[in-house]
Structure 1
Amino acid sequence: MPTDRTEPPVTAFMLVKTTPEWLAMTVAERVQAFTTQVVPVIQARTRGVRSRFYDTEFYSARVTDIWVWEADDHDAYRLLIDALRETPFWDRYFDVVDLLVGTENGYARTYDLEPVATLTT
């Protein structure tokens, strides 16, 4: 599928840990808080950003969730982080443990190679 994109998307693996304030809420209160206090700010202040969420609390005491953010470019990613920092998400409901940011198959673009990947059947 041809694309006119000149830069690869930016992918951020945001490693977070829930705070006692978040855990003290009921599930319904958490959904309400996220949909009314976080999502509207992201939608108003960003563009070209997608997210996925992974629970890790069953395997890690340091990180309870990994939020994967994909942004169309570095500017979109910067706007996302700026937006999140102005919501209760950042340092109130979640402690941001680490941010791992990269671009998929960057080495392949750098060296004009086909990406190497594993496939299993």
Structure 2
Amino acid sequence: MSANAETAEAPVTAFMLVKTTPEWLALTIAERVHAFTTHVLPAITAKTTGVRSRFYDTEFYSARVTDVWVWEADDHRAYQLLIDALRETPFWDRYFEVVEILVGTENGYARTYGLEAVATIST
């Protein structure tokens, strides 16, 4: 393992488990898209860099959690700025109830012990 790999901060991945609120569900699809593009995206781009997102619908399988938002940040500082930005938007506890946040680093054990990451690939 190189010195750069040992000292470089690992990217942070956060799995944000959320539940829609009645206020969000009362919006039309167009209003939801507008809310996201006018409230969330500008807040994130104004406060941080190095953040990526993916969104998963889970309401088909769970009553407690309707969506999982996956946030990837280049480092802990970018992640903290992301959360600060989200909390200043109506998406935090107005349109969505934040049920739980699970934060981790991919293959952290491998970095800790200087091992190759073990992963499966299905073909």
TM range (shorter): over 0.9
In structure 1, the gaps of 5 or more residues are: none
> Higher mean Cα deviation, 31-40 or 13-22?
31-40
1 or 2, which has the higher helix percentage?
2
CA distance in structure 1 between the partners assigned to 2:9 and 2:113 by the alignment: 15
Question: Per-residue displacement from partner, 1:52-92 (whole Å, max 9, x unpaired)?
Answer: 00000000000000000000000000000000000001000
Q: Among all aligned residue pairs of Structure 1 and Structure 2, give the percentage whose two residues are the same amino acid.
A: 81
2:109 alignment partner, one of 107, 110, 119:
107
CA positional deviation for 1:45: 0.6
How high is the TM-score relative to the length of structure 2? 0.93
1:15 aligned partner = 17
Pairing 1:35–2:37 present: yes
In structure 2, the gaps of 5 or more residues are: none
- Aligned pairs for 1:8-87 (under 5 A) are 8-87=10-89
Aligned length: 118
2:120 aligned partner = 118
How high is the TM-score relative to the length of structure 1? 0.94
